[in-house]
Amino acid sequence: MGKIHRRVMLVGGAITPPGLPMDWTWRQMAAEVFWKALNEVGIPVKDVDLVACNYNDRAIADSSPGPQIADALGIIPKPVVPIANACAGNGIASYVAWNAIASGRCDIVVSMGFARADNYDAMEAMNSQGNYVDFDYLLGLTHINYGTMRAAYYRQKYQVPLEAAGQWAYQCHWYARRNPLAVEYSKPMPLLEELCADTPEGERNRQATNRGGVASALVLVGEDIAHRFTDKPVYFDVAYAFSPPYIGNFFHYPVDALKEYDLGELSGLMVAAKEAYAIAGIHPEDINIVQVHDLTAYEGMMALEALGICPLGHGKDYVLSGGMTLESRCPVNTYGGGIAFGHGSAGSDFQIGVLENFWQITGQAGERQANEPRVGVNSSYGTHHSLDVVGVVQKGW
């Protein structure tokens, strides 16, 4: 804490809308969102001190992504920090950007990420490019297998009914119909009965929708200069933690912060949340809006528990009692979540939560606007919760 020289403020950001042309290159996506975010707050590109950029590693065939990205954005000779760290990697990009400002080294930094849709999906391939190339790889587990196992274990351990998962998905869809940036925005609202059904279709409807190509950006500045760009700045803080990437190691892992938990809890997220809250100077009871990365409804409930919104095992109770709605003490996933906004991988899974909390706190959320939130938290994960990132957005002056 003693090495933080100044607070970091978020003054603007942007995300590409759904349905980007399939022939767009990663350069077009990155440049589009970068310039849009800067133009929103009137910052010329020459004033940007550094860019931290996360990318989907299958989307860049070129070598040396750092200079490639710098050239595409037009910021040469300024530095770019390229990051490839799974779906939550733009959370790490935001961490790098935050540190550059908090240390006093930089004044204006853009954190961004992009993921371009392609025709090759390594997550389902049983080869060395998948996440599991060791013990779990030999068992033949894919991302989908893993998520199914975690959900089944959590459901059994904490007796989570299908109705809670259905209600989670329903509320995400409700918000998405009020968010023009959501994949499901213009589609018919599903019935709650369909989302609660104990059928393969019902289970699929309780899982994330693939967003395809997407890019996002945050514009971060030092507290002392934020007034130049906005009269509604918000404070931003971020932290992340790693956990073991193999399923067997989620049980009795020999690290104090992780060893008391198993596949039914997100212990890495607990560690990241504790650090983020300490930096931001908040406690769980201060939070009044939350956005979580939910590839399944069960992971969403687990995230609420790990963030301290409700006790372990009580995510189902929070959801079934209306905790996700605008009328609750802490609305959840007002952007639509992975289920209805769409899973954007390296392009948006962390930063959309930050942006939604920014829009909520500054009163820009339209029909999904919560009642004057002051402290927003968001979480994202990558590689099956071996990476968990937490962001905190707080009302400024």
Strand, helix or coil for residue 357: helix
Q: For position 146, what pLDDT does the model report?
A: 78
Angle, to 10 degrees, between the axis of helix 143-158 and the axis of helix 297-306?
A: 60
What's the rounded Cα separation, in Å, for the pair 337 and 48? 31
What's the rounded Cα separation, in Å, for the pair 9 and 199? 46
Q: For position 86, what pLDDT does the model report?
A: 79
Query: Which strand (E) or helix (H) includes residue 202?
Result: helix 200-205
> Which residues of the chain are modeled with pLDDT < 50?
1, 120-135, 137-138
What's the rounded Cα separation, in Å, for the pair 297 and 339? 8
What's the rounded Cα separation, in Å, for the pair 256 and 315? 24
Q: For position 123, what pLDDT does the model report?
A: 46
Q: For position 24, what pLDDT does the model report?
A: 87
Amino acid at 368: R
Q: Is the peptide bond before 284 cis (omega within 30 degrees of 0)?
A: no
Q: For position 142, what pLDDT does the model report?
A: 66
Q: For position 133, what pLDDT does the model report?
A: 45
Residue with token string 């998520």: 147
Q: For position 32, what pLDDT does the model report?
A: 95
Q: For position 59, what pLDDT does the model report?
A: 62
Strand, helix or coil for residue 63: coil
Q: For position 145, what pLDDT does the model report?
A: 75
What's the rounded Cα separation, in Å, for the pair 303 and 312? 10
Query: Domains, the chain, ranges and CATH?
Result: 8-115 (3.40.47.10)
Mean pLDDT, all residues of the chain: 90
Strand, helix or coil for residue 267: helix
Between the CA atoms of 72, 77, 78 and 82, what dihedral angle is there, to the nearest 10 degrees? 50
* Short-list 154, 213, 220, CA closest to 13: 220
Q: For position 135, what pLDDT does the model report?
A: 47
